[in-house]
Amino acid sequence: MRAVSERRTALVARLQAQLGYQFEQQAILDRALNHRSARGVSNERLEFLGDALLDAVISDCLFHQFPDADEGVLSRLRASLVRDESLAAIAGVLSIGSLLRLGPGELKSGGARRGSLHADALEALFAAVFLDGGYKAADDVIRRVFADRLANLEITAARKDAKTRLQELLQAQGHPLPDYALVKTDGPQHKQRFFVTCAIDEPRSIVCDGVGHSRRIAEQNAADAVWQALTNEEAPA
């Protein structure tokens, strides 16, 4: 038990170093890392607040980084940054999965490896920073962990949404249009997730998944995955 406690303490210290922020109230940090399946107060309320904070900070970053982009382009750029896959990747770098407390049932079902839970915990973490240190602290942390993604953001890909790009690519090659299907929805009412598939038969059979907080966003993410699969295969070696 002592070894486990020491390892967690070391991981918490490493997390705070990566964030560039030291918590004054460790209880708030602990709550951000407590899934609803575990004992104690869950991180769901913090996740709700962190989601709003993340949207506000990233919107501000994009507004100033791309002064000539219209609302549609900015919205698509933001969606690409704050979607679950991106958040889960950042959470992985921060080792949030190793710190997230889960109940026995969630652990047995593979929750420790579930990217969506890590993404939720990252949003809760942003809210915890806000409650502990104020908006400026949360703003600084979000900008810090998204710095590389913001620096490498390509605006050209966002000028057309993913569904349009995929449709035009298929039409140009004389292939049928893709089929979209809603697989399921889950999550709390304030942040419901939509799971969608995008499928094509030509030039070869491809089926990709997309997840989003609206069906439209989920379809865009699924279409983007199919488009990436096609264009990566067709690129010259």
**Cα 50 to Cα 161: distance, rounded to the nearest angstrom:** 26
With beta carbons less than 8 A apart as the criterion, state whether 46 and 127 touch.
yes
In this structure, the chain runs to a length of 237
The confidence score (pLDDT) of residue 175 equals 92
Tell me what the mean pLDDT of segment 69-85 comes to: 85
Catalytic residue among 47, 123, 139, 161: 123
Which of 231 and 142 is assigned the larger pLDDT?
Answer: 142
Residue 222 pLDDT more than 70?
A: yes
Domain ranges of the chain: 2-158, 162-234
Known active-site residue 6: no
The confidence score (pLDDT) of residue 236 equals 38
User: pTM here?
Assistant: 0.70
With beta carbons less than 8 A apart as the criterion, state whether 142 and 54 touch.
yes
Angle at 134 between CA 133 and CA 137, to 5 degrees: 70
CATH of 2-158, one of 1.10.1520.10, 1.20.1630.10, 3.40.630.40, 3.10.129.10: 1.10.1520.10
Known active-site residue 51: yes
**Cα 18 to Cα 100: distance, rounded to the nearest angstrom:** 17
Classified by CATH at the fold level, domain 162-234 comes out as: Double Stranded RNA Binding Domain (3.30.160)
Catalytic residue among 51, 132, 139, 219: 51
Report residue 228 as tokens: 């990436």
Q: How far is CA 44 from CA 40, 157, 187, 220, in A?
A: 12, 33, 10, 26
